[in-house]
Structure 1
Amino acid sequence: MQESILKNKSYAFAILIVETYKVISSEKKEFTLSRQLFKSGTSIGANIREAEFAQSNKDYISKMSIALKETNETGYSI
């Protein structure tokens, strides 16, 4: 199976999001936005992984579109 740059980068991004979440929630005591950042930032890679096993082209496009929306939401949360 071919190495996926998108999967690798989304995984590395998710790790960065988790580390950021830990700092914001523990040191800054900010929970609402940090939780939203955590959820949307880690969801990107999850949706990309789901798209990998899509049942059809439409399903693939749908899951990748959700990943794109989560990326946009993460940008808003930052």
Structure 2
Amino acid sequence: MTEAQFKNRTKQYGLRIIRLVEALPDTRSASVIGRQLLRAGTSVGANYRAACRGRSTADTLSKLAIVEEEADETPYWMEMLVEADIVAE
């Protein structure tokens, strides 16, 4: 996958997260989890773009580690929504 393809893919991922969060019910739990999901899911693409502008190999790798952390955190919040019966699987 090229850099441009990955940028587009992570942006589309963020947009899907936004649509999911917007569709959540208006409850306190959904709001709290939704904010966390929105933050993690949309930061994947933003942090990947920052990694592409790394000033050194070490800087790029450090920023890619953040991308990985946020990408790993996103499904956690999705699992919480499902397991708390806020959304159906």
TM-score normalized by the length of structure 1: 0.89
Once the two structures are TM-superposed, the CA of residue 3 in structure 1 deviates from its matched residue by: 5.5
| RMSD between superposed Cα atoms in Å | 1.2
The letter for the 1-side match of 2:61 is I
Number of equivalences: 74
Is there any run of 5+ residues in structure 2 with no aligned partner, and where? 79-89
* 1:29-68 → structure 2 map (5 Å cutoff): 29=26, 30-68=30-68
Separation in 1 of the partners of 2:7 and 2:40? 16
* Structure possessing the higher radius of gyration over alpha carbons: 2
Stretches (4+) displaced over 2 A: none
- Please, what TM-score do these two structures have when normalized by structure 2? 0.79
Q: Percent identity?
A: 32
Q: For 2:64, give the aligned amino acid.
A: M
Q: Report the AA paired with residue 14 of structure 2.
A: A
